[in-house]
Amino acid sequence: MRIDCITIFPEMFSPLQHSIVGRARNKGIFTFNTLYLRDFSINDYGQVDDAPYGGEPGMVLRPEPLARAIKSTGVKEDNGKVIYLTADGIPFTHKIASDLSKESHLVLLCGHYKGIDERIRESYVDMEISIGDFVVSGGELPAMLLTDAVVRLLPGVLGKSESGETDSFAKGLLGWPVYTRPEVFEEKKVPEVLLSGHHKNICAWREAESLKRTKERRPDIYEKLKIDTKFGTT
């Protein structure tokens, strides 16, 4: 997989050199490139933004640099996807991450200030994704989150592929509680069922705990699960 990220702050992406994603990058499982938007600026001063029409406060990224940067990646020729990270996009989910992990080329577009010219969204962007109901200063942090979520689903990234299959959201629910040694910590014991060696009982406990945690913490997911089950779609 190839991921290109268009940004005015390429120095922000050093976290992707570490941990699981960093190892996958070093193995050549995917490539990650930053394109400095000012390299595609409209003048020698590196201008890439301008005041919005209508008198609204703030600045907007101009369409010309964005279009040139997107075209330079060859993403359209590769039948890849251009993704704009924006607070008014569709909510990012495990399902979207899984679908994107099957793509060969992604271009992540990091907005800043008040955002990007709407004409770029209309003509060049394939998906608009939000990481939550809040606003951050730019698209760089959302782009890193999306990259991490997508890359860890690529074959060969996780030491054991089964590990990802039991993560929260992988099967539509939150994950169950997990424990490790010591068996007793500050007078709290590991649940006996996990020490029993009885695989069937352990699986039943995990399923029950997963449902309980989902109901308590994400009733929206739990209610949808009940509806889908009722109509036979799970």
Q: Give residue-wise pLDDT tens across range 91-150.
A: 999 999 999 999 999 999 999 999 999 999 999 999 999 999 999 999 999 999 999 999
User: Tens digit of pLDDT for each residue in 166-198?
Assistant: 666 877 899 999 999 999 999 999 999 999 999
62 and 113 share a domain? yes
**CATH number for position 93:** 3.40.1280.10
User: Does residue 156 lie in a domain region?
Assistant: no
- 57 CB burial (10 A radius; 0-12, 13-18, 19+): exposed
- Comparing C-alpha atoms, which of 214, 220, 15, 13 is closest to residue 133? 220
Give me the helices (H) in 13-130, please: 19-26, 63-73, 94-100, 118-123
> Which of 151, 183, 198 is the last residue in one of the domains?
151
119 and 197 share a domain? no
Percent share of the chain, pLDDT over 70: 93
Secondary structure E strands in 69-137 = 81-91, 105-110, 127-130
196 and 134 share a domain? no
Cα distances (angstroms) measured from residue 226 to each of 9, 104, 229: 44, 35, 5
Q: Are strands 188-189 and 184-185 parallel, antiparallel or unpaired?
A: antiparallel
Residue 161 has pLDDT above 80, yes or no: no
Beta bridge partners of 106: 3, 81
Domain that includes residue 145, residue range:
2-151
Per the listing, tokens 């200030």 go with 113
Residue 231 has pLDDT above 50, yes or no: no
pLDDT-derived band of residue 162, with 50, 70 and 90 as boundaries?
low
- Tell me the average pLDDT of the chain: 93
How many domains does the chain fold into?
A: 2
Question: Helices then strands (H, E): number in the chain?
Answer: 9, 9
- Please tell me whether residue 5 adopts helix, strand or coil conformation: strand
